[in-house]
Structure formats: C-alpha cells, structure tokens
Chain A
Amino acid sequence: MLAIESDALSKVYRSGMFRRQEVTALTGFSIQVETGQIFSLLGPNGAGKTTFIKMLLSLAAPTSGSASVLGRRLPDVRVREKVGYLPENHRYPGYLTGEQVLRYFGALGGAPSGALPGRIATLMELVGMSQWRTMKVKKYSKGMMQRLGLAQALINDPEIIFLDEPTDGVDPVGRKEIREILRDLKRRGKTIFLNSHLLSEVELVSDRVAVLDKGHLLKVGTVDEMTATGQAYVIGITGTLPDTVTVAARAFVIGLSQQGENVTAECRTTAELNQVIDLLRRNNVEITSVTRQRSTLEESFISLITGEGRP
C-alpha cells in the first residue's frame, strides 16, 4: 500500500482586499511514497514543501487535485490518528514540562492514558531528554525543543511521521542521533516524510528524494539516481597513464583525463568502459578501483534549481 499519494495537487493562497492577491504555492504536484521509506522533499525557501505537508494534514485545503494518506482520500480526520508531525518553528506551552507536553499531545492524539507514562519515558530516553523531562519547556534550548518535538511526533506510535526541518538548531552529535532514530523507525516499518535544507543529511538517510522549486516538481528518484552523472567512471591506477593509451582510448570514448592516480572516463555505454579497462590491462596499467562518478546531492540539487541539470 502506498503511504502517500498525490495527484495533480495545487495550492493557490489568496490574500489582501477581496482576496485578490494570489500566491501559487504548489502546481500539479504528483508523487507516490511507499510505506516503510524515508522520503525527502527538497527545495529552496518558498518552494511549496511545507504547503504540501499541510495539505496532507488538512491544515490547508488544496485548490485542485487530490491526495490520499494510507489509502484514505483527504480530507479525513481519521488519517491523523496514524500520523505524527513535527512542524517547523513549533511552539509548545512554556508553562508545561517536557513530560507534560507529551502527555497533553498524546491524550489529544488518542493514546490510552494508561499507556502514556511508559511511552513518554521510552521516547524521552530515545531522544536523549530523560534528565530534562521535568524541566519547564520555556527553559529549553532550540536543540532540546527539536528533540522534544520529535518525541511529540512519535507519541501516538504513528505509521507516517512528517518532519519539517527536524535537525534545525541541533548540534552535529544530536543530528547524528536523530539520523539513527530515523533509521530505527524505518527498520520498524514506519514511513518518514522529511523536509530539510540540510542536503548532506538527507543524502545519508533518504531512500527517495523529490526536488521542488516554485511549486513545481523538478525531479524524483533514489539518492543514487539523483546524484549519478551520466556514464562517467573514475578508474584508480598506479603510476602515470602512457600517452599512447590516452590517445587510443579517446578514439572510442567521449573523454578521458587523468588527475593524480585517477583516470576519468566518460563513456556512452558500459561496453565502452570495459574496452577502456581492457586497453589499460593490455598496456600493463595496474587498476586499483573502478567507481561510477557521482556528484553530491547538494551539487545535483543546485544544478536542478539553477536549471543546468533539469531533464
């Protein structure tokens, strides 16, 4: 079953006198997210990422199109029984302690009151907040608030967890811990929908990634698909490539260059790559490694946003 499905979802916000000012937040957005995946939505500020989550949670109504969560067509209040949400810039009541926040929102989420104390203790431990659970939230740092927010999103043992900038304000050690929590949740079959600006982190945890810009979906795929750069390969060798080999190889590949002990071969097919390898071996060049050349997710993202990498 698909965890999330949207079909040509669009959102236009209207404001001003007589609601005449229009801002298009999302245009014809269609994606499918399978259960048990970590799916990340990337995009610059104002791309429509948060709007999409808000429409899935019925916080905003679509202007057109449709969406479903866990097989239920939206809007459907019952969907929210199986969903956890960590909003961006969330505000918890400062007069409550961390533990009280979880009890309050757990009760609102419909968790049985008998099960809450145990669940709160487990979650506080999970997000590393056990020792501050009785401290008033108004004394929490930004990082502590994010950890509490993550625990709040998990309090009702949801099937899908929407996280909007979950590592915002969290230190590197904390970010690593959150990544581990996300991986653990995935192992337990949960679906995680992530909005984040921290592309290096998204790259580390995501199964699939979608890139949005100005409300339009630019590309969707696995991290490997997003970062692959055509048929370029990096061949590790010892020593220097003889000029005769370089000339011979350039006769059948798009390009060949050497930098240090790495030879980059731009091929049209894997057959060409094998031809290059055969050529090197015939000329007694020792090969130490062969890897497909990749860009980072950040490079791919920037390339897509600036238009260079658009399909």
Chain B
Amino acid sequence: MKIITLVRGTIRELAAKATLYVLAGISTLMLIFAALAIGADSTADGMSITFFGKPASPPVTHDTLAELAGKLEAGFAGGLFFGVVVFGVLGTAGVIPDALEKGTVDLYLSKPIARWQLLLGKYLGSVAVIFLNILYFIGGLWLIVGVKVGVWNTQFLLSAFLLTYVFASLYAVVAFFGVVSRNMAIAIIAGILYLLLVAGPLESRQTGLYLLSESGVYRGILDGLYYLFPQIPAMESGAIHLISGEQALVTPFAQSLLSAGGILGLAAWLLQRRDF
C-alpha cells in the first residue's frame, strides 16, 4: 500500500516537470504527422499504403499489407525508443537523487517505510510515467494505422510493454547511480554512457571488442560482462522484430530482468547502509 502511495506520489512529481511534457509533445507531433501522412488506397490490383496521398508501395494483398504496416509501425517504434531513452532518462533521473536529498529523505524515512520500499516506489513511479507516455504514442499510432489502413496489429500494441520493459532495465542502472551519487547529472550521464559505452559495445563485441585481443580470458570477461548487465540493444532489436511479426529471442529479456533486479537489489543494499 505504501509503495502504491510512493508510486502515485512519483507520478505526480513527474507530472509537474516539463521534460516529460516535451516527450508527450514530440509524441503528439509525430502522431499528427502520421495521421496526416499515412493512408491506404484500394485498386483493382489490391491495396497499397499511401504517404501524403502517394502510393508508398505497389498494390498488394491484405496479408502483405498487414506485413508492410507492421514494418511501418516498427520503424516508428524504433524512433520512439531513442526518444524514450533520451527524454525518459532526462525526465526521470532526478527522481531518486531528489528523494535522497537532505531535508526530503528525513521526511520519508521518519515514516514507517523501509528504504527498499522508498527505492522501489520511486523506481516504479518513474517507469509508470514512461509507460503512460509510450502507451499514448503506441496506442495513438495503432489507432491511426488501424483506422486509415485497416490493419489492427495487436503485437504493435504489446510493444508498449516491451519498450517500457527495455526502459525499466536501463532505468535500473540510472537508479543505481542515483543512489550512489545522489546527483541527477551523474545518474543521467551514467545511464547514457552505459548505453553508449557498455551495452552497445558489448552487444557488438564479436565484431568490435573481440578484435582487440585474441586472449580467451579477455573474451571470457567480455562475455561475462555481457550477461551481467541488461542487454538493452538486444531487447530493442527483439522488440522491433516482434512488432514486425518476426521471431525474437526471449533470452535477452529474461537475462535483463535478472540483471536489472540484481542492480536494484545492490542499490537497495547500499541505501540501507547509508547514514542520512
């Protein structure tokens, strides 16, 4: 119950910040653009997707049209992922450092709540806000494609959960650095650097970092690190495959769940040991 109160409090806190309105504003602009641009044309040869009234594909059967619509939606979702990472992290990275600030943390911890509850409540509240933003965009685009093209791709709707899952994995890293540093800027930089300098290079290690040395120990360490941290790029690519109606590996999602859980657990342990 207290965690729900913390989640609701965090949603209200983030609703008062401008950054997330920027994300919602960008989503709205993209939806307006999609509503104006996307259409479908029916001819004797079949159906085609139109872009500003001009056919974007040759006339195809309904099944092929559904496949094309899936790819279109996957393209938008890929673009959304970038927006979620940048604006989502920017908008939510301050939540945990703010809660741990002198004068605020005393208020929280003088109440009968455990420190891990405070951390979890703030974490889930931030993730919930990002989920609402993603759902707004994905739901809107799903409606636009459904109404204008006649393809109702439920897998695309499910991608709102997948993209939130990816964000939640990354946000565990941001939350960890928020607890350690109690500084929003450091939490943001750590999250972005993790994505660019750790998750990305580890994902493509076989064509990148492996080339630096042929040592088995070195490559073993890289593999170990890969399985130790959330696999953000692998999950992003898996989510896009699923939206397009293709198969995707479950392993990165399962491994990232364990990894993010471990990182949050470590953050909770460090928080428990801290004097305020």
What residues of A have a CB within 8 angstroms of the CB of B2 in the complex? 107-108, 110
User: Of B16, B103, B114, which one neighbours A89 at CB under 8 angstroms?
Assistant: B103
Cα distance A89–B13 in the bound complex, in angstroms: 20
Cα distance A88–B106 in the bound complex, in angstroms: 9
A195 → B minimal CB distance (Å) = 13
Q: Is the CB of B110 within 8 A of A87?
A: yes
Given contacts A59-B276, A77-B112, A80-B112, contact A152 B107 (CB under 8 A): yes
- Taking CB atoms and an 8 Å cut-off, the chain B residues in 239-261 that contact chain A are none
- Taking CB atoms and an 8 Å cut-off, the chain A residues in 38-93 that contact chain B are 54, 57-61, 77-78, 80-81, 83-85, 87-93
User: Of B6, B102, B105, which one neighbours A108 at CB under 8 angstroms?
Assistant: B6
Q: Is the CB of B5 within 8 A of A78?
A: no
What residues of B have a CB within 8 angstroms of the CB of A95 in the complex? 12-13, 16
Given contacts A13-B275, A95-B16, A104-B9, contact A58 B103 (CB under 8 A): no
A207-246 interface code vs B (CB 8 A; 1 in, 0 out): 0000000000000000000000000000000000000000
What residues of B have a CB within 8 angstroms of the CB of A96 in the complex? 12
Tell yes or no: A105 within 8 A of B by CB.
Answer: yes
Nearest CB to that of A25 among chain B residues? Answer: B275
B1-24 interface code vs A (CB 8 A; 1 in, 0 out): 010011001001100100000000
A31 → B minimal CB distance (Å) = 20
What residues of B have a CB within 8 angstroms of the CB of A85 in the complex? 106-107, 110
Q: Is the CB of B109 within 8 A of A105?
A: no
Cα distance A105–B8 in the bound complex, in angstroms: 12
| Count of chain A residues with a beta carbon within 8 Å of a chain B beta carbon | 32
Q: Is the CB of B9 within 8 A of A90?
A: no
A159 → B minimal CB distance (Å) = 13
Q: Is the CB of B5 within 8 A of A90?
A: no
Q: Is the CB of A89 within 8 A of B102?
A: yes
Q: Is the CB of B13 within 8 A of A83?
A: no
Tell yes or no: A98 within 8 A of B by CB.
Answer: no
Tell yes or no: A166 within 8 A of B by CB.
Answer: no
Cα distance A96–B101 in the bound complex, in angstroms: 18
B6, B9, B109, B111: most-surrounded residue (chain A CB, <10 A): B111
Nearest CB to that of A55 among chain B residues? Answer: B275
A261 → B minimal CB distance (Å) = 53
Cα distance A71–B2 in the bound complex, in angstroms: 25
What residues of B have a CB within 8 angstroms of the CB of A58 in the complex? 109
Cα distance A105–B108 in the bound complex, in angstroms: 8
Tell yes or no: B213 within 8 A of A by CB.
Answer: no
A144-174 interface code vs B (CB 8 A; 1 in, 0 out): 0000000010001000001000000000000
Q: Is the CB of B109 within 8 A of A108?
A: no
Nearest CB to that of A83 among chain B residues? Answer: B110
Cα distance A272–B231 in the bound complex, in angstroms: 88
Q: Is the CB of B275 within 8 A of A107?
A: no
Cα distance A58–B16 in the bound complex, in angstroms: 31
Nearest CB to that of B15 among chain A residues? Answer: A95
A94 → B minimal CB distance (Å) = 8
Tell yes or no: B215 within 8 A of A by CB.
Answer: no
Nearest CB to that of A61 among chain B residues? Answer: B275
Cα distance A156–B105 in the bound complex, in angstroms: 18
Cα distance A93–B109 in the bound complex, in angstroms: 15
Q: Is the CB of A80 within 8 A of B16?
A: no
What residues of A have a CB within 8 angstroms of the CB of B16 in the complex? 93, 95
What residues of A have a CB within 8 angstroms of the CB of B101 in the complex? 91
What residues of A have a CB within 8 angstroms of the CB of B43 in the complex? none
User: Of B107, B109, B111, B112, which one neighbours A92 at CB under 8 angstroms?
Assistant: B107
What residues of B have a CB within 8 angstroms of the CB of A88 in the complex? 103
- Taking CB atoms and an 8 Å cut-off, the chain A residues in 12-27 that contact chain B are 13
Q: Is the CB of B103 within 8 A of A77?
A: no
Cα distance A104–B108 in the bound complex, in angstroms: 10
Q: Is the CB of A108 within 8 A of B113?
A: yes
What residues of B have a CB within 8 angstroms of the CB of A162 in the complex? 110
Q: Is the CB of A81 within 8 A of B112?
A: yes
Q: Is the CB of A60 within 8 A of B276?
A: yes
Cα distance A107–B9 in the bound complex, in angstroms: 11
A187 → B minimal CB distance (Å) = 24
Nearest CB to that of A95 among chain B residues? Answer: B16
User: Of A59, A60, A93, A110, which one neighbours B13 at CB under 8 angstroms?
Assistant: A93
Q: Is the CB of B103 within 8 A of A87?
A: yes
Cα distance A54–B110 in the bound complex, in angstroms: 9
What residues of A have a CB within 8 angstroms of the CB of B111 in the complex? 80, 105, 108-110, 156
Q: Is the CB of A110 within 8 A of B106?
A: no
Cα distance A81–B104 in the bound complex, in angstroms: 18
B85-118 interface code vs A (CB 8 A; 1 in, 0 out): 0000000000000000111111111111110000
A90-B103, A109-B111 given; name 18 further pairs at CB < 8 Å: A54-B275, A54-B276, A59-B105, A60-B276, A61-B275, A77-B112, A77-B113, A87-B106, A89-B102, A91-B104, A92-B107, A93-B13, A93-B16, A95-B13, A105-B107, A108-B111, A110-B111, A162-B110
Instruction: List 25 contacting pairs A-B, 8 Å CB cutoff, sorted by A.
Output: A13-B275, A57-B109, A57-B110, A60-B276, A78-B112, A80-B110, A85-B110, A89-B103, A90-B103, A90-B104, A90-B107, A91-B104, A92-B107, A93-B9, A93-B13, A93-B16, A95-B13, A95-B16, A108-B6, A108-B108, A109-B111, A110-B2, A110-B111, A152-B107, A162-B110
Task: Give the top 10 A-B pairs by smallest Cβ distance, nearest first.
Answer: A95-B16, A85-B110, A91-B103, A87-B106, A60-B275, A80-B112, A108-B111, A107-B5, A59-B276, A81-B112
